[in-house]
Amino acid sequence: MARDFVVEARAAGVRDQRVLDALQAVDRQRFAPPDAGWRVRRDAPVPLPCEQTTSQPSLIALMVEALSLGPGSRVLEVGTGYGFQAAVLAGLADEVWTVERWAPLAAEAHTRLAAYPNVHVVTGDGADGLPGQAPFDGIVVAARCAEVPSTLVDQLAPGGRLVAPVGAEGREHCLVIRRAADGAGEVGAEVVADLGPVRFVPLVRG
C-alpha cells in the first residue's frame, strides 16, 4: 500500500527521497477511521469526524517536500486530523508540534501518534499557531485560509517556509511562503511557489 503511495507521489512531482521514504514508512490505515473502506488504500482524501478530511498522500508529500526541511528542523502543523501528516513529518523533523481545534480529533491523534515521541499534539486554535514554541523552520496548514495567515508567518524562523491553501472557496491554491531577513535585520515574506489548485476545508477560528 505505502509503495503505491510513493508511486503516486512521484507522479505528482515529489522528488525528495527523504520525503518518499517518510511517506512509505507510515501505515495510513493506522491514521484512518475504521469505516474508511477503499479510500484508505487509494491516493484519495479520507473523511474524518467533525466534517473534516485528511488529504490524499501524494498531496501531503508534495506539501511536506515544499517545506524544505533539513536536519534539526522544528515544524508546526495546523490541522492534525487523525495524525497521518504529522507521522510523515516525524520522519523528517526533530520536533513536530501539531494543533487541532476539534477535541475528539486531537484525542484520537494523541493516541495514534503515541509511537512518535517527537510529535506533540495540542488542542487549540490553529490560526493562532503556537507562539510559545516559535520559531519554526516550517509550518504546514491543512485547511483553507482566506489570505496568507500573517500570525503564522510571524512564527517562522528566518528562511523558514509556510505551506498553506490560500484563497476563496473553490479557488484556493497551495502557496509556499518563505520568510527572509535582509542585511539590516528586517523580516519579510514572499510567495516562492504555487503548488496549484487544491480543495480544503476552511480554517475555522476558535
- 159: three-class secondary structure by DSSP: strand
Question: Which whole-number Å values give the CA distances from 113 to 6, 26, 67, 98, in the listed order?
Answer: 21, 11, 21, 11
- For the record, the C-alpha cell of 131 comes out as 507562539
Asked if residue 40 lies in contact with residue 29, where contact means CB atoms within 8 angstroms, the answer is: yes
Asked if residue 165 lies in contact with residue 149, where contact means CB atoms within 8 angstroms, the answer is: no
Rounded Cα distance, 199 and 99, in Å? 20
Look at residues 55, 204, 51 and name the one whose alpha carbon lies nearest to residue 124: 204
Catalytic-labelled residue, pool 55, 68, 73, 150: 55
Order of strands across the sheet that contains 187-197: 119-123, 95-100, 74-78, 136-141, 156-166, 173-181, 187-197
Active site residue 55: yes
Kindly list the catalytic residues. Answer: 55
